[in-house]
Amino acid sequence: MEKTFAMISLGCAKNLVNSEQMLYLLSEAGYTLVPEADGADLAVVNTCGFIDAAKSEAIDNILEMAELKKAGRLGGLIVTGCLSERYKDSILSELPEIDAVLGVGSFGDIVAAADAVMAGGHLSRFASNSAPVDEIARVVSTGPSWAYLRIAEGCDNFCAFCAIPYIRGRYRSRPMENILEEARELAAHGVKELIVIAQDITRYGTDLYGKRSLAALCRELGKIEGVEWIRLHYLYPDQFDDELIDEIASNDKIVKYLDIPIQHINDAILKRMNRRGTGSEIRALFRTLRERIPGLVLRTSLIAGLPGEGEAEFEELCEFLKEARIERVGVFPFSPEEGTPAAKMEHVDAEEAQRRADLILQLQAEIMDAFCESFVGKTIRVLCLDYDEESELLVGRSWADSPDIDGLVFFEGGCTPGEMADVLINETDDGYLYGTQIGGAAC
Ligand code: SF4
């Protein structure tokens, strides 16, 4: 008899990789993935528990599945991921509708959980969250042409506002040969863009090889046939060295787009938040990167309303943004996370933090619009992703766009999704670029 399951993957790209691993394990064990939980034997909710908003989203999804179960339209409910790990002592008593729960060290037990629930039982497993990273195969769900490549797990930085090190455990790099083997396999299946991810990729290799090894890894990834773009996500500002900057500048496959979360620019706040480095060092790094990597697009993330941020510190942050003209900025209002040092520090209320986050977005809108405008009249490389029925245009991402967080390029042309195209940009609108494929027949 067919056994079906639906998967709801919440949160970040790192969690998506865990979902993809569970998809693989369940499929190998004879479970069939279905698009909707309604009518399925099982639903797996792979949760995020990073900040309050993510927790609420996870709980809403769990409750929605619980309703289906109560109505007899879903067989069993399995909850995995960060929310399970963070609340392992209370999640089953608080949400008794859950049949099985797995922590972040136990994704590999998904089949045992599914079998137990199918047999009418329960299962709860929380292996260490700091054990070596599980090398589990996965079903890539991001499409044929791009995939995330996770190179490490956990985080040792212990920023004062962040719960990740407590949830995801200590920093553990994956062995380089395993990463390269996975990358080769992805390329052999048509993946052209590898998005290298971890909480902090600059620290890669320090635990396994006793030295920072991201530059060496990128060098090897660049040699893989079929890989055209390597995108680097989450570089810690104080971990750049000359070797890494040179590798980024000289390796044609590394897209000149770097995601360097800085969180704030004020020295006292950075120190209080246990961030290494000062505002001047961040300014100097950005200047150096722009000098040595022509055409560089920078992305960062910020937190508005951090403990210690008064009007003057917020003003300093805004002034920095006006001067640095960072092309891509994400901003969160401060969320005091239980168990973190920052939650116990005095801070502005949620409404004020949100107001400041909105002000930053307004300020950045002009910078981002000007950046989009700078593409008009230029021909840029685009990874074609799909055909958009509504606009009747092809849609893709340029090297300056990361999935989900940046813009898209809509264009007329003759390429097929999964292919790269050169697109002449004619106009922009609200963060999106519009153009025509060069040398491609009209679709
Ligand atoms: S670097 Fe800081 S903010 Fe990022 S995951 Fe680690 S502790 Fe959290």
Distance from the CA of 39 to the center of ligand 1, in angstroms? 39
Nearest CA to ligand 1 atom 8: 162
Burial (CB count <10 Å: 0-12, 13-18, 19+), residue 310: exposed
What confidence score (pLDDT) does residue 54 get?
87
- Asked if 77 contacts 99 with a C-beta cutoff of 8 angstroms, the reply is yes
Distance from the CA of 159 to the center of ligand 1, in angstroms? 6
The CATH number of the domain covering residues in 3-125: 3.40.50.12160
Report residue 105: phi and psi, to 5°: -95, 5
Nearest to 398 by CA among 140, 141, 146: 146
Q: What is the DSSP letter of 142?
A: S
HSE at residue 2, side-chain half, CA atoms within 13 A, is 7
Nearest CA to ligand 1 atom 4: 199
Strand partners, 394: 387, 411
Task: Give the mutation target among 15, 51, 158, 162 for probing the ligand 1 site: most ligand atoms within 8 A of CB.
Answer: 162
Q: What is the mean pLDDT, run by run of 10 residues, along the chain of 443 residues?
A: 95 94 98 97 93 89 96 97 92 93 96 97 95 93 93 96 94 98 96 97 97 98 98 95 97 98 98 98 98 96 98 98 96 94 96 98 95 96 95 96 95 94 96 90 40
Task: Give the mutation target among 50, 86, 156, 159 for probing the ligand 1 site: most ligand atoms within 8 A of CB.
Answer: 159
Distance from the CA of 206 to the center of ligand 1, in angstroms? 16
Count other C-beta atoms under 10 Å from residue 242's C-beta: 10
Distance from the CA of 237 to the center of ligand 1, in angstroms? 12
Task: Give the mutation target among 170, 199, 274 for probing the ligand 1 site: most ligand atoms within 8 A of CB.
Answer: 199
| Pair of tokens at residue 435 | 């153009």
Residue 275 Cα: closest atom of ligand 1: 2
Residue 162 Cα: closest atom of ligand 1: 8
| Share of the chain residues as helix, strand and coil, in percent rounded to the nearest 5 | 35, 25, 40
Residue 263 Cα: closest atom of ligand 1: 3
Residue 158 Cα: closest atom of ligand 1: 7
Q: What is the DSSP letter of 134?
A: P
What confidence score (pLDDT) does residue 50 get?
79
Packing angle between helix 214-222 and helix 176-188, nearest 10 degrees? 30
What confidence score (pLDDT) does residue 443 get?
37
Residue found under tokens 């003003």: 315
Domains 146-373 and 379-437 share a fold: no
Degrees, nearest 5: CA angle 162-214-224: 125
The strand pair at 146-150 and 393-398 is best described as unpaired
- What is the C-alpha radius of gyration for the chain, rounded to an integer number of angstroms? 22
Distance from the CA of 340 to the center of ligand 1, in angstroms? 12
The CATH number of the domain covering residues in 146-373: 3.80.30.20
Residue 168 Cα: closest atom of ligand 1: 5
Count other C-beta atoms under 10 Å from residue 35's C-beta: 8
Domain locations in the chain? 3-125, 146-373, 379-437
DSSP string, 158-204: --TT--HHHHH-S-EEPPHHHHHHHHHHHHHTT--EEEEE-S-GGGT
Pocket residues for ligand 1 (CB within 6 Å)?
A: 155, 157-159, 162, 164-165, 199-200
- Asked if 410 contacts 394 with a C-beta cutoff of 8 angstroms, the reply is yes
379-437: which CATH topology? OB fold (Dihydrolipoamide Acetyltransferase, E2P) (2.40.50)
The strand pair at 193-197 and 297-304 is best described as unpaired
DSSP three-state, residue 267: helix
Task: Give the mutation target among 82, 129, 156, 157 for probing the ligand 1 site: most ligand atoms within 8 A of CB.
Answer: 157
pTM, rounded to two decimals: 0.94
What confidence score (pLDDT) does residue 115 get?
98
